[in-house]
């Protein structure tokens, strides 16, 4: 039964990934944004595990487990801890109002599907139909990065973009070699440690996490 409805379930999870990307784009509460990122990571874990079972690609089970540990447990825990340590519970400030941002997001989704169509036609994978959604998630995450003025939402946008890239790799070629995935995971964890230090330095220097304050450093 699951084998028969597997492709439909993959498409359903892909659609959920896209909805979560839009929800993150429209979210104004920082704690809710972190929770949405964790939900997106869990959806990615489910889709990767399902693809592994349907295609008998055993290395994808390791990828799914890595996603669960890193994207669903470790990174959200680190982000929640950073927010508590920094004692910030502000709303997410946007450089463009939410309705305009959502309209731009819809345009990006249309663009992503048109760009992915030729690649999907060449791909021979079971998940090639979700490649457009994966590219749309990447573009929406990039949009979230450039429309937020605070450092933490920008970092969450970057991490969400990595989710989209991993989903695209799974859709196009059943994932990446485990050595590369472990390398990326290590880079992300080290990057989070460095960014945590960076956050504290910005807070000490400017009493704010607004990255626009960094322009003041050009005067010194």
DSSP string, the chain: -HHHHHHHHHHHHHHHHHHHHHHHHH--BHHHHHHHHHHHHHHHHHHHHHHHHHHT-THHHHHHHHHIIIIIIIHHHHHHHHHHHHT--PBPPBSS-HHHHHHHHHHHHHHHHHHHHHHHHH--STTGGGHHHHHHHHHHHHHHHHTB-BHHHHHHHHHHHHHHHHHHHHHHHS---HHHHHHHHHHHHHHHHHHHHHHHHHHHHHSS-BGGGGGGGGG-
Which residue matches tokens 């463009």? 96
Confidence of residue 40 (pLDDT cuts 50, 70, 90): very high
Report whether 19 contacts 110 (CB < 8 A).
Answer: no
Identify which has the larger pLDDT, 172 or 197.
172
Identify which has the larger pLDDT, 134 or 129.
134
Identify which has the larger pLDDT, 198 or 166.
166
pLDDT given at position 103: 93
Confidence of residue 173 (pLDDT cuts 50, 70, 90): low
Identify which has the larger pLDDT, 133 or 92.
133
Q: What are phi and psi of 68, to 5 degrees?
A: -60, -45
- The model carries a pTM of 0.80
> If you compute the radius of gyration of the chain from its CA atoms, what whole number of angstroms results?
18
Mean pLDDT confidence for 164-170: 82
pLDDT given at position 48: 86
Confidence of residue 214 (pLDDT cuts 50, 70, 90): very low
pLDDT given at position 88: 63
| Beta bridge pairs of residue 91 | 29
Is the predicted pLDDT of residue 152 greater than 70, yes or no? Answer: yes
Mean pLDDT confidence for 4-18: 84
Confidence of residue 39 (pLDDT cuts 50, 70, 90): very high
Report whether 66 contacts 188 (CB < 8 A).
Answer: no
How many Å apart are CA 135 and CA 90, to the nearest integer?
30
How many Å apart are CA 73 and CA 101, to the nearest integer?
29
Mean pLDDT confidence for 147-162: 81
Mean pLDDT of the chain: 77
């Amino acid at each position: 039964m699951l084998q028969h409805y597997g492709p439909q379930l993959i498409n359903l999870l892909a659609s959920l990934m896209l909805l979560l990307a839009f929800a993150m784009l429209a979210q104004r509460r920082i704690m809710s944004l972190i929770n949405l990122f964790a939900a997106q990571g869990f959806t990615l874990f489910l889709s990767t595990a399902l693809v592994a079972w349907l295609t008998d690609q055993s290395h994808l089970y390791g990828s799914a487990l890595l996603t669960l540990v890193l994207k669903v447990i470790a990174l959200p825990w680190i982000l929640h801890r950073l927010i508590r340590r920094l004692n910030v519970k502000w709303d997410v400030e946007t450089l463009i109002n939410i309705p305009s941002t959502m309209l731009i997001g819809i345009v990006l989704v249309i663009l992503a599907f048109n760009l992915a169509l030729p690649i999907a036609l060449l791909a021979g994978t079971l998940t090639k139909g979700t490649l457009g959604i994966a590219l749309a998630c990447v573009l929406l995450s990039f949009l979230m990065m450039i429309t937020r003025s605070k450092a933490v939402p920008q970092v969450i946008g970057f991490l969400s973009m990595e989710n989209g890239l991993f989903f695209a790799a799974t859709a196009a070629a059943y994932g990446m070699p485990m050595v590369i995935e472990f390398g990326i995971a290590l880079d992300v964890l080290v990057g989070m440690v460095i960014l945590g230090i960076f956050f504290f330095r910005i807070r000490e220097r400017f009493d704010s996490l607004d990255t626009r304050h960094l322009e003041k450093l050009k005067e010194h």
